[in-house]
Amino acid sequence: MADNQNTILQVENLHTHFFTESGVIRALRGVDFSVERGKVLGIVGESGCGKSVTAQCIMNMLPGNGRAVEGKISYYPRESIGSQTEKVDITGLPPRGKAMRAIRGNEIAMIFQEPMTSLDPVYTVGSQLMEAITLHQNVTKQQGKEIAVDALAKVNLPEPARIFDAYPHQLSGGQRQRVMIAIALSCNPTLLIADEPTTALDVTTQAQILDLMRALQEETHMSIIFITHDLGVVAEMCDDVAVMYLGKVVEQTTVDAAFHSPQHPYTRALLRSIPRLTDENQTRLDVIKGRVPDPSVVPPGCAFHPRCPEVIPGLCDVHTPEVIKLGGGQEVRCLLYDDKLMAQSPTRTALAESR
């Protein structure tokens, strides 16, 4: 997969630990996924599964007590298309080094969840935009301002020249998120990481922002990693989906397969647990029993086994599932698809029949 010309980012076996006073927290326990050039990859999962930590690793901006202890993130820069690829190993770069700074905010940009807190309240929108532009592009102040006002106009903000001089508190939540997108896109990134960009917004504002992001993606052909917990948003926005559970990707596949033929029991259970408009009123929802465990005490074997409706005792709590490639590019981490182990299991035939 790494040799694929179309891959822009490849994450392999990424382990990230946080070293805290009360012990080591294994936030990522071997994350694998890849992002195709010009495609939108959705990363879904519940809180605490490591979605945001993955984004921080890609941007190489983990908090002080966090470290990527194993695995690598390969980024294939835009110049590499056509010519023999010169990939960059992001995990190997010092976070504050020149090489990383040339990538961060320039080639890989990020928008954050909280439009209220991710803009600095004491600087105008314009100066925050100019900061990104003058840092990465060799332009005069005047040219920089033109680029900035253009960027604000591009995200459909009314009166961009006025917004340029406004402070964040003078804008609404939706407008702030547009400013965040303008900052992120001001340097024409090849990869955009959007970490829950619409979670804090109202439904109609969310529809505006999603619409804008889709239009900008079609225009610039950038790749997007779209992190969210809202399966509806994934279905709307993404081409591919990676489902995370407790620091691992348990299933990566196309958006159609994820919603219409999900293979991992967690993906299936998640899809069953959301209320749908087409449901008969007030039917009971299917639930996933229990809750996401604390990442400091990860269950042995498959981490999902205590909550899994298809658990095989004696197998799932012992063996850690590897990535299994199914047809159509679907990849899943589940012992149910491990033919070798299943052959040894006494309950296999019964299960195979029920499946």
Partner 1 sequence: MAQKENKTNPNGSVDSRTTLLEVTDLKMHFPIRKGFLRRVVGHVKAVDGVSFSIQKGDTFGLVGESGCGKTTTGRCVMRLLDPTDGQIVYYDREEGPIHIESLEPTEMRVFRRDMQIMFQDPYASLNPRLTLRQIVGEPLIINKVASGKELDDRVAELLRSVGLSPEYMNRYPHAFSGGQRQRIGLARALALNPEFIVADEPVSALDVSVQAQVLNLIKDLQEEFGLTYLFIAHNMSVIKHSCDHVAVMYVGRIVEVAETKELFRNPLHPYTEALLSAIPNPDPRQRKSRIILEGDVPNPARPPSGCYFHPRCAYAKEICSQESPPLQEYAPGHSAACHFAKELSLTGVL
What residue ranges bind partner 1 (CB under 8 A)? 46-47, 172, 174-175, 202-208, 210-211, 229-236, 238, 255-256, 258-260, 269-271, 273-279, 281-282, 284-288, 291-292
Closest to partner 1 by CB, 114 or 131: 114
Closest to partner 1 by CB, 47 or 84: 47
Q: In angstroms, what is the minimal distance from the CB of 236 to partner 1?
A: 5
Closest to partner 1 by CB, 122 or 277: 277
Establish how many alpha carbons lie within 13 A of residue 183's alpha carbon, considering only the half-sphere containing its beta carbon. 29
Closest to partner 1 by CB, 114 or 236: 236
Closest to partner 1 by CB, 131 or 230: 230
Q: Which residues contact residue 284 at a Cβ distance below 8 angstroms, ignoring those fewer than 6 apart?
A: none
Burial 99-123 (b: 16+ CB within 10 A, else e): ebbebbbbbbbbbbbebeebbeeee
Q: In angstroms, what is the minimal distance from the CB of 19 to partner 1?
A: 22
Q: In angstroms, what is the minimal distance from the CB of 126 to partner 1?
A: 21
Q: Which residues contact residue 341 at a Cβ distance below 8 angstroms, ignoring those fewer than 6 apart?
A: 315, 319, 335
Q: In angstroms, what is the minimal distance from the CB of 63 to partner 1?
A: 21
Q: In angstroms, what is the minimal distance from the CB of 129 to partner 1?
A: 21
Direct distance between the N- and C-terminal alpha carbons of the chain, in angstroms, rounded to an integer = 30
Closest to partner 1 by CB, 210 or 298: 210
Burial 272-310 (b: 16+ CB within 10 A, else e): eeeeeeeeeeeeeeeebeeebeebeeeeebbbbbebbeb
Tell me if 57 sits within 8 A of 73, measured CB to CB: yes
Output the six-digit token pair for 280. 């008969």
Give the integer Cα–Cα distance in Å for 299 and 306: 8
| Helices (H) then strands (E): counts for the chain | 12, 12
Q: In angstroms, what is the minimal distance from the CB of 202 to partner 1?
A: 4
3-state DSSP call for residue 124?
coil
Q: In angstroms, what is the minimal distance from the CB of 72 to partner 1?
A: 30
Q: In angstroms, what is the minimal distance from the CB of 96 to partner 1?
A: 34
Output the six-digit token pair for 272. 């069953």
Closest to partner 1 by CB, 41 or 238: 238
User: Which phi and psi (to 5°) does residue 105 adopt?
Assistant: 85, -20
At residue 95's C-alpha, the angle toward residues 92 and 96, to 5°, is: 130
Closest to partner 1 by CB, 182 or 258: 258
Tell me if 308 sits within 8 A of 330, measured CB to CB: no
Tell me if 167 sits within 8 A of 106, measured CB to CB: no
